[in-house]
Amino acid sequence: LAKTTQPISMDSYEGQEVNITCSHNNIATNDYITWYQQFPSQGPRFIIQGYKTKVTNEVASLFIPADRKSSTLSLPRVSLSDTAVYYCLVGEDTGFQKLVFGTGTRLLVSP
């Protein structure tokens, strides 16, 4: 799996848009980009997945530039309940690829 690099922590305020960038310089042609969210003492929750350009769902958007060496998870108008750790994962769509969770980005949303 391609190694990923994310900021250790980020701070925001309620109502703001938060963008978390993940670097994956060694991403391979077949690799997809997946993001998970984890609250304290809970299991991670799948947020979004993409291959290129932009993907949007009811929770977030994922922006992937043409070279795919990075990706940005965008959370619109965050609330206090978005305080969590966000993990970026990269892996292939063929055969079993272990989900490798790094230390993630700890997002703190304040009033």
- DSSP code of residue 80: G
Interacting positions 38-77 with another protein (CB under 8 A): 41-46, 49
We find the least distance from the C-beta atom of residue 45 to another protein, in angstroms, to be 7
Among 9, 102, 108, 110, binds another protein (CB under 8 A): 102
Choose one: 19-27, 62-70, 71-79, 95-103; the region binding another protein (CB under 8 A).
95-103
Helix (DSSP H) and strand (DSSP E) numbers for the chain: 0, 9
Shortest reach from residue 111's CB to another protein, in Å? 25
Q: Which amino acid is at 105?
A: T
98 is a site residue for another protein (CB under 8 A): yes
Check if the beta carbon of residue 23 is closer than 8 Å to that of residue 4: yes
Place of tokens 């978390």: 20
How far is Cα 56 from Cα 21, in angstroms, rounded to an integer? 16
- Please give the residue ranges that form the binding site for another protein (CB under 8 A): 32, 34, 41-46, 49, 87, 89, 91, 93-104
